[in-house]
Structure 1
């Protein structure tokens, strides 16, 4: 009996030694620039950084971005809709054919009823699930939403208020949450994130601790077997201060940081960390508050003057080459940049001449308040950058700028205020980094139909030639006519500027050498499913 027991023990030990060791779970830890965890109900706040990390990885749209390439602007790919087309009988109506067999993370079905339920959440004030914060963002991003209806369980129709060839580029921002999440939370959106909320994406939320971390886990039931995540878990941490993010990376607290401080890049490289940069559709401007009652920016000469007064090359040097000068909404090398009359460069003499023609001189200097953030999505390093511009404008053109520094999400909310709103506290400028990816975004920001608070035209800028060009872009079917109109529209943005064009970000990130497979697409977003840890 003793011999038999010993032999069993020996056999068990041999089996344990022969079996491969259990694989350790791979956890990717990311330091965001946000000061808090973006909202986790399915349409996150905190701008596009919120969409990058608490949006697309968990909650998806009918249309998704293709984030697998670096050689061209990110395009669109089928998402929760397998395909879509304009109704041949009505060019304002789009038909979306839904993907079958998709489940939310809670096991419930994604179908046409879930689509309509979520659209009511955003666009129907009288629906039980109406969510004001998500509605405000969605209406600003899709200002031409008209009606929508279920055709059958796998088909929905969405009708816009006017023809829009670029509507799929707007639909990509409408994300879908399981209706069951709302019911389980007692129909209270403030409690939905604590469930946590269920989406359909390659990751699911497992935990959210405000201002500390959000934990994601790979979703084993993801509908796209070809895009299963390679890491088991993702931990997202809000670290708004750049040097604190740098310290977290060096100490091993995180594996990846957004926007490393420029003066730390060389030492990070020498220590073996990976630095990634890449062109993407980004512009870092000042928005002029043209609509305010006593705004100095009603005069186009003042708006042009500041574009000649700033030293963009000097600012790029401050950023250690992680940005490039911006002289328009698009990059100057873009084929759709056009041939505007104004070719902005550092020319204080011309800037001061234009200011004098507008009535601003050394005896009566231009003075205004700018509202800026201390961090945030796409904001790069807003405090030192704005301090550089403040000193630059004073020394070059005698312009006095006062700053009101607020939190990023508060600044985003301010961008939807009316020009004389008390929320702006007298600000005549907002510093908000912005996308420049497609005609849909151009329409959102600059169409005179999208004045705040109903759209993203905070400036309340109106240019008849621009609006006419945008109408052609929306309605034309000839690619040559659309491209010509796009160039014309951009020329108006340069010559009649609603913004002070400052720099284009080059999207710097710093990562542990353990990270493999990362792609830096020409987009504000990233595909976390491609990333692995070794």
Structure 2
């Protein structure tokens, strides 16, 4: 009998070896990611949900003419060629930039990426009268590229952009214009709501293969990707919105997901002990409060803004976060070569903070009181509820400041950053708590130049500092690195000494992964590269 069973086993093995290769394929490699977003980012090719939407449903699927170089962890991410193989500033007209398009690129639906497709997408974002105009995608894109004046097709491989001011940093804005196949719009009956469910076609290393509103989005490997050196190792990526940190933690521990954004800080030691990988890294990103300086508000007085910056116990907040953040005393980090030489070096100095508030007329008998709009979760927000509760108690105990909160959803908070003073969406709030990249001067322009107060950009505080404007103008017109860096440092000095924000912390981009996840590089960027990631 034993001989018969052995013979039968050999026969089965021989049969399996003789089967076609397709029957013996390895299972699909699927990476399951729990995002902090409360919903799946929009899927038309310009995702909402802030930069978390761009990280997961933007760049992997829909690319720009310029891309971030996310290949290294030892320096801040720079730029690399994307759908444009090169770009240059017109020497005869520095407000004009010329982009040379890459040849041989096709959208996921097989249609060619070319100059006509570029113009079609630009009309989608910047021309309200175009048939393909998309209101939500336009609002997001215009807020990120507020200096666009015009664009035109020069020839089949060249696009000219003209900006409304000289801008040495324009390529850092071009990185936020994503491209969708015009055929997707036609296939959806010229209705962007229907296009979102198709799903639409981009040019990226992943395709959007399935979308379930409020539940999940599935990305699949694009094995026909134009850069043959960057074919993804993963077959699929499943994106799951989980705004509650404890929910994400439970999903990771139970094996429902392989990767979570922003694990609860107090759970990090036990996750490490259990064999999960925790990645952190310093990168250009800041978690502040924006002060509303327009209209009748206490923040018109620089002493109030400086005083509050001396009242914050940043070290205590970092301790609450279990070391997953570092103190912020400016828009840039103190070790950044362009930090400048401000007179104010903010630290936890309640006596100095109270003295400045008293000079401005606020004391125990007349305490400073205001409302801050905060979110429950969201892109780059870490743990906004406990963090803001810490700040509320800290400011009351250290400097007698009374803070209340307007708690809202992340996308509503983003909408508020594009509103004017006193807008109904603010519900009486005089400060906002979004987070922001601090990666390059193009972001600095959008947040701090007077020209970019809402609806033109994100200068919600209505910041207007002549010294800053002068320094930034020199940066925009700089023709060499030395001039550029000197002007950048002068501009940042004004952001510290005349602070439009309460600088609180720079987060360290924490995420937790199962040890089966391999090949991830924690780039010094808000964005991350999924292409080299593998799962065992």
TM-score (norm 2): 0.96
Q: Which whole-Å CA distance do the structure 1 matches of 2:462 and 2:471 have between them?
A: 18
Residues 112 and 13 of structure 1: is their aligned pair in 2 closer, same or farther, counting only changes over 3 Å? Answer: closer
Residues 10 and 227 of structure 1: is their aligned pair in 2 closer, same or farther, counting only changes over 3 Å? Answer: closer
Q: CA deviation at 1:221?
A: 1.3
Residues 10 and 85 of structure 1: is their aligned pair in 2 closer, same or farther, counting only changes over 3 Å? Answer: closer
Residues 195 and 332 of structure 1: is their aligned pair in 2 closer, same or farther, counting only changes over 3 Å? Answer: same
Q: Does 1:100 align with 2:123?
A: no
Q: Which whole-Å CA distance do the structure 1 matches of 2:109 and 2:22 have between them?
A: 34
Q: Does 1:82 align with 2:96?
A: no
Residues 239 and 9 of structure 1: is their aligned pair in 2 closer, same or farther, counting only changes over 3 Å? Answer: closer
From 249, 254, 260, give the equivalent of 2:252.
249
Residues 18 and 29 of structure 1: is their aligned pair in 2 closer, same or farther, counting only changes over 3 Å? Answer: closer
Q: Does 1:198 align with 2:201?
A: yes
Residues 161 and 354 of structure 1: is their aligned pair in 2 closer, same or farther, counting only changes over 3 Å? Answer: same
**Partner SS, residue 95 of structure 1:** strand
Q: Which whole-Å CA distance do the structure 2 matches of 1:127 and 1:73 have between them?
A: 38
Tell me which residue corresponds to 1:323: 325
Tell me which residue corresponds to 2:351: 349
Q: Which whole-Å CA distance do the structure 1 matches of 2:388 and 2:523 have between them?
A: 27
Residues 10 and 238 of structure 1: is their aligned pair in 2 closer, same or farther, counting only changes over 3 Å? Answer: closer
Tell me which residue corresponds to 1:265: 268
Q: How does 1:12-31 map to 2 (within 5 A)?
A: 15-16=18-19, 21-31=24-34
Structure 2 residues not aligned, in runs of 5+: 1-10
Q: Which whole-Å CA distance do the structure 2 matches of 1:364 and 1:18 have between them?
A: 79
Q: Which whole-Å CA distance do the structure 2 matches of 1:514 and 1:141 have between them?
A: 37
Residues 18 and 242 of structure 1: is their aligned pair in 2 closer, same or farther, counting only changes over 3 Å? Answer: closer
Q: Does 1:467 align with 2:464?
A: no
Q: How does 1:148-187 map to 2 (within 5 A)?
A: 148-187=151-190
**Partner SS, residue 501 of structure 1:** strand
**Partner SS, residue 336 of structure 1:** coil
Q: Which whole-Å CA distance do the structure 2 matches of 1:239 and 1:14 have between them?
A: 43
Q: Does 1:113 align with 2:116?
A: yes
Tell me which residue corresponds to 1:5: none
**Partner SS, residue 449 of structure 1:** helix
Cα deviations by residue, 1:422-463 (Å, 9 ceiling, x for unpaired): 111110010011000011111111011101111110111000
Q: CA deviation at 1:17?
A: 10
From 477, 493, 510, give the equivalent of 2:479.
477
Q: Which whole-Å CA distance do the structure 2 matches of 1:284 and 1:18 have between them?
A: 52
Tell me which residue corresponds to 2:371: 369
**Partner SS, residue 94 of structure 2:** strand
**Partner SS, residue 502 of structure 2:** strand
**Partner SS, residue 90 of structure 1:** coil
Structure 1 residues not aligned, in runs of 5+: 1-7
Tell me which residue corresponds to 2:287: 284
Q: Which whole-Å CA distance do the structure 1 matches of 2:21 and 2:134 have between them?
A: 56
From 479, 491, 500, give the equivalent of 1:489.
491
Aligned-residue Cα RMSD (Å) equals: 1.4
Tell me which residue corresponds to 2:382: 380
**Partner SS, residue 82 of structure 1:** strand
Tell me which residue corresponds to 1:64: 67
Q: Which whole-Å CA distance do the structure 2 matches of 1:338 and 1:97 have between them?
A: 36
Q: CA deviation at 1:14?
A: 5.3
Cα deviations by residue, 1:3-31 (Å, 9 ceiling, x for unpaired): xxxxx999856523999931111000000
Q: CA deviation at 1:133?
A: 1.1
From 508, 511, 520, give the equivalent of 2:510.
508
**Partner SS, residue 91 of structure 1:** coil
How many pairs align? 526
Q: Which whole-Å CA distance do the structure 1 matches of 2:146 and 2:15 have between them?
A: 67
From 434, 437, 441, give the equivalent of 2:436.
434
**Partner SS, residue 520 of structure 1:** coil
Tell me which residue corresponds to 2:38: 35
Cα deviations by residue, 1:57-106 (Å, 9 ceiling, x for unpaired): 00000000000001111000000001111112211111111011111011
**Partner SS, residue 403 of structure 1:** strand
Q: Which whole-Å CA distance do the structure 2 matches of 1:27 and 1:522 have between them?
A: 25
Tell me which residue corresponds to 1:237: 240
Q: CA deviation at 1:420?
A: 1.5
Q: Does 1:392 align with 2:404?
A: no
Q: CA deviation at 1:138?
A: 1.0
Q: Does 1:405 align with 2:407?
A: yes
Q: Which whole-Å CA distance do the structure 1 matches of 2:262 and 2:426 have between them?
A: 27
Residues 331 and 20 of structure 1: is their aligned pair in 2 closer, same or farther, counting only changes over 3 Å? Answer: same
Q: CA deviation at 1:294?
A: 2.1
Q: Which whole-Å CA distance do the structure 2 matches of 1:170 and 1:44 have between them?
A: 16
**Partner SS, residue 254 of structure 1:** coil
Q: Which whole-Å CA distance do the structure 2 matches of 1:10 and 1:53 have between them?
A: 43
**Partner SS, residue 215 of structure 1:** strand
Tell me which residue corresponds to 2:3: none
**Partner SS, residue 529 of structure 1:** coil
Tell me which residue corresponds to 1:207: 210
**Partner SS, residue 80 of structure 2:** strand
From 115, 137, 152, give the equivalent of 1:134.
137
**Partner SS, residue 123 of structure 2:** helix
Q: Which whole-Å CA distance do the structure 2 matches of 1:314 and 1:11 have between them?
A: 66
Q: Which whole-Å CA distance do the structure 2 matches of 1:314 and 1:236 have between them?
A: 33
